[in-house]
Structure 1
């Protein structure tokens, strides 16, 4: 399943940011390498994020999010989404047009 996560990062205390920042980056890169994070877009100040996750279930998404070191500072919403480029290539049509 694909989920689009829209997230903002509340301010992290500097000491905590310095202590956990590398772990946050390493975990993110690990998820990218595993194909769990499909797309990752961030504002230049690294406060707003748009991330596409590919996971087996909503529960797996929540479990994955909970493992981020800065999770306590996340404000987010997520929605299941469809990759329309791939879906159309596979013959999907807009169900509202049928």
Structure 2
């Protein structure tokens, strides 16, 4: 796997975890004592992004809307990363066609 693919795949994994975190929070809105989760991202040393899920305390009346918007943003980020992989594949195919 080359550097671009690794960076993009790390972004896709983070986006997937973000959707899972948002789904967890929405699914547990009515559950007393259920932890609210949050996804934290940071730049990875080798490029890309590292993500981890943390539990947050407290309640937020706007949380359900925020979770739904966050899930939608993660879906858009995932789709953008997938488009980058497709474009990289097309460019590599064109380069190989020229060399043949």
Normalised by the length of structure 1, the TM-score is 0.29
More strand by share: 1
More helix by share: 2
* Greater C-alpha radius of gyration: 2
